[in-house]
Amino acid sequence: DTAVSQTPKYLVTQMGNDKSIKCEQNLGHDTMYWYKQDSKKFLKIMFSYNNKELIINETVPNRFSPKSPDKAHLNLHINSLELGDSAVYFCASSQRSDTQYFGPGTRLTVL
Amino acid sequence: DAKTTQPTSMDCAEGRAANLPCNHSTISGNEYVYWYRQIHSQGPQYIIHGLKNNETNEMASLIITEDRKSSTLILPHATLRDTAVYYCIVRARIQGAQKLVFGQGTRLTINP
């Protein structure tokens, strides 16, 4: 069983579109995260939710909106996609501030 | 967040021990050292972490100096599958979560 899963694995879309990436974890963790890895391979945290409450919100454009329907899910919605949004997005989860476990990533390409 | 410094790249022969150094001279007393690796754009994989004492698990060993200003990750018998980018991270704890700040890491290449 996959511990942290993301869908879709690949996402190709046009500029200006709105898209969502879904993340689910079956580890029973209470904290989930979104990271972005750009073309230079730097991995940066974007958001973190603990028990559906936003607790980390880095400097991210307002076009990015995380949504946590329950503790096991953290979705990332992106409005008005731009070329610079092309990246690999990773979801992760942890039990509070313990070790984080990452998903396989979603490669987003904006044309 | 404490900053870490790692060599950009390293090579190791298959079957040998791979020793990856990391400097974290500004680490605070309650901050843990974490190691992750990323194999060819897959999701980062947790390896090991420690606070003061040396740690060992099925994947690796972590040696932390007494002053905690540096550490070394040891892969005892490197295989080709260990080729990856290895990240040394000092964890910043935020209530209810942990903030991992990834640097550039060390690109480890295991040669046959």
Mean pLDDT on B66-88: 96
Q: Which residues of A touch B45 (CB under 8 A)?
A: 102
Report the pLDDT value the prediction gives residue B101, as an integer from 0 to 100. 84
**CA-based R_g, chain A, Å:** 13
For chain B, list residues whose CB is within 8 angstroms of any CB belonging to chain A: 34, 38, 41-46, 49, 85, 87, 91, 93-102, 104
Cβ pair A95, A31 in contact under 8 A: yes
What mean pLDDT value characterizes chain B?
Answer: 92
Residues 6+ apart with CB under 8 A from A42: B102, B104
Rounded to the nearest angstrom, the minimum Cα separation between A79 and chain B is 24
Q: Compute the half-sphere exposure of residue B32: CA atoms within 13 Å on the CB side of its CA.
A: 17
Report the pLDDT value the prediction gives residue A101, as an integer from 0 to 100. 94
Structure-block tokens of residue B96? 């209810």
Does residue B1 have a pLDDT over 90?
no
Phi-psi group of A41: left, alpha or beta (phi > 0 → left; psi -120 to 50 → alpha; rest → beta): left
Does residue B2 have a pLDDT over 80?
no
Report the pLDDT value the prediction gives residue B48, as an integer from 0 to 100. 96
Kindly determine whether residue B100 and residue A45, on different chains, have CB atoms separated by under 8 Å: yes
What pLDDT band is residue A53 in, cutting at 50, 70 and 90? Answer: confident
Mean pLDDT on A90-107: 92
CA–CA gap between residue B13 and residue A101 (Å, rounded): 29
CB pairs under 8 A between A and B: 65
Rounded to the nearest angstrom, the minimum Cα separation between B42 and chain A is 6
| Per-residue exposure over A8-43, b if at least 16 CB sit within 10 Å of its own CB, e if not | eeebebeeeeebebbbbbeeebbbbbbbbbeeeeeb
Note the pLDDT tens digit of each residue in A3-34: 999 999 999 999 999 999 999 999 999 999 99
The minimal CB distance from A97 to the residues B45, B87, B97 is found for B97
Q: Which residues of B touch A97 (CB under 8 A)?
A: 91, 93-98
Mean pLDDT on B33-54: 93
Mean pLDDT on B45-73: 95
Report the pLDDT value the prediction gives residue B40, as an integer from 0 to 100. 87
Report the pLDDT value the prediction gives residue A89, as an integer from 0 to 100. 97
**Which of A47, A46, A39 is CA-nearest to residue A107?**
A39
Mean pLDDT on A25-45: 91
Structure-block tokens of residue B66? 């007494």
Kindly determine whether residue A55 and residue B98, on different chains, have CB atoms separated by under 8 Å: no
Task: Give percent above pLDDT 90 in chain B.
Answer: 74
- Which residue type occupies B58? E
Residue B96 burial by CB count (10 A; 0-12/13-18/19+): exposed, middle or buried?
middle
Note the pLDDT tens digit of each residue in A55-88: 888 878 899 999 999 989 999 999 999 999 999 9
A residues 8..27 contacting B (CB < 8 A): none
Mean pLDDT on B85-108: 85
